[in-house]
Structure 1
C-alpha cells in the first residue's frame, strides 16, 4: 500500500513531469528558451515535492547555546544524572558566641558536575512558583515533622510560622495546611512504622487520589521498639509491592524517601536508645533499605540522604544524637526542590 510520500511523487509525475517532457520537445530548438523552461519546471517540481520530505533541521541534532560568557561550563545532555550529585554539600561551623556554633551549607562548586548541574538555593518566591497548585504529602516520624518545618520555613513568612510551630508539634498528630498565596496544600501524616506507610499507600490506591509530591520515611521507631532488622526488611518489601499501582497510573507522584539520620549513640538521651540504636543496628537497617528496591535507580524513590547530611554536619548539629538542627532539614528541602526541577525539566 502506498504511503503519503509515494502518492505525492506519483501525483507530481503526472502533473509536472508529463508537461515537462512536452515542453522539452517544443523548446529543444532554442537553447535559451529550453533553459528557461527547464528552470521554471524544476522550481515547480520542487514546490510540489517539498511537503513530502523532512526539512534539513530534521537531520541534525539540536544544539543548545547560551549567551552566558562562561562557555567553558559542561552542559549535561541528561539532567537526570544530576540527581546523583545533589548531596555534594559541604558544611561550615560559624561561631555565634563563645559557647554557640551555627552551621551553614552550600554545594561543592569545585566539583565540575555540581557546577554543570547549576543547583540553587531557592527563595520563597521561586519555591512558591515551583510548588504552585501542588499537593505535597509528607509521611513518617519526627524526622518527617522536622522536614515539614523546614519546608514551611521556606514557604511562609515569619509571622505565619508562629502559629504553625505550635500546631505542627502536637505530639503524634497529623497536620494539614493550605497556603492560599501559592495554592499549596500540605499534609503531614504521623506514621512511624513502615506498615503505617503501606496502609496509607493502599488507601491512596483505593481512592485513586494521589499527591503531586509524596515524601515518606520510617525506621527509627522500628529500631527502638521492635529492633528486628529482618522484620524491617520484610515490611519494606511489602511497601515496595504496594507502590506498584501508583507507578502505572496517569498521575504519578514525585516520590522521595526521607532517610534516617546518623545516630550518635553516646548522645542518645535514654538507656534503651543507647542499647538498641547501635552502629550495628543502623547498618542492618540501612542494608535492608538498600535491598528493598524502593530507591533509585532500581526503585521509584529519590533518596533524601539525611544520614549523609547529618554525618557531614557532625555532633555540633544535634543535642540528642538523633534530632538535628533545622539547617540539616533545610538542606534536604533544597535537595528535593532541585530534584523536582530536574524531574520536571524546569530551570528558574
Structure 2
C-alpha cells in the first residue's frame, strides 16, 4: 500500500488538523457509555478499566455497567469491603487497580467531591498526568492533552518520530507534541477523536492510511515501522501444580492469595511437583500473565490437611467468591465434569 504524502504540517497548521479530526469524529465517532456523561466518577471508572483492558472486554462482558450499578458513586465504593469489590472486578486482572480506585473514592468522599484543577487531581491516589487530564477533558471539557498508547502511535507517525515512545525522553517529547496540538476549545471532542483514530485507522501494524481523515498531515512514509518501543523481555514458560481436593462432604479446598498481585482472591491450592508426583493429573490449563506463559497442572485428590490461608468451601458457594480467571475457568470445568 502506498501511503499518501503529507501536504500539511500539523504543528504549523494545528487548527486545520483539529478541524479535520473533529469533522471525521462527528460522523464516525463510536457511542460509548462514558461518552454520554460528564460525571467524573463514571469517566474515572472507564479510564481505570481501560488502562490494561480492551474496550471489547470492558463493554462486551458488561464489566463497566455492572461496576457502576454496584458502585454508582465514590461514596458507595469508599465503604465497600474487599470481597464485593474483587468480585465485581473479577476477570479484568491487575486487581491493584480496583483497590486503588477505592482509595481514590475515599479521598474524593473525604474532600466532598472531585476537584477540577490538574494539581489537585494528581494529588488523588492513583491519579497520574494522563488520568488527571482525561478527567479535565472528558468531565469538565477543559483544555488538556492526553497520551495513551493509541495517541502515542498517532503522534509518532504524524511527525515521523523514531525515538522509543516508552522511554522517558520519548514520553516527554510526545507529551510536548500533544500539548501543542491539543484543541483549547473542543478538548472533549478532540481527545476522543485522536484516541479513536488510533483504535481504528491508525491501528498497530499496518494502518488504514488511505481512509485516514488526517493523512495529509502525516509525515511518516513507513507507518508500520512506528512507533518504536523498547524491546519486550522474552516470554518465560512456567509450570504450576495445584490441587483439586474434595473432602468427605464434597467441599473444595481453596487458598486465599496474600501477595500484592491477587491479594484477597481465591485459587486452587498450590503444591510442589514432588508433592503432586503421586497424584493423578486430571486436567491441564494454560494462560498468559505479563511475560509468563503458565501451564497449570491440576491434580485430583481426596481430603488433605489445609495449610495456612486454605479452607474448605461448599461447591455452591464457589460462584460467589472472587477468583482469577484461570482458576475460575478451571473450577467451572471441573465442577461441570464432576
Which protein, 1 or 2, shows the higher relative CO under an 8 Å CA cutoff with sep ≥ 6? 2
Could you say which structure has the higher helix fraction? Answer: 1
TM-score (norm 2): 0.25
TM-score (norm 1): 0.24
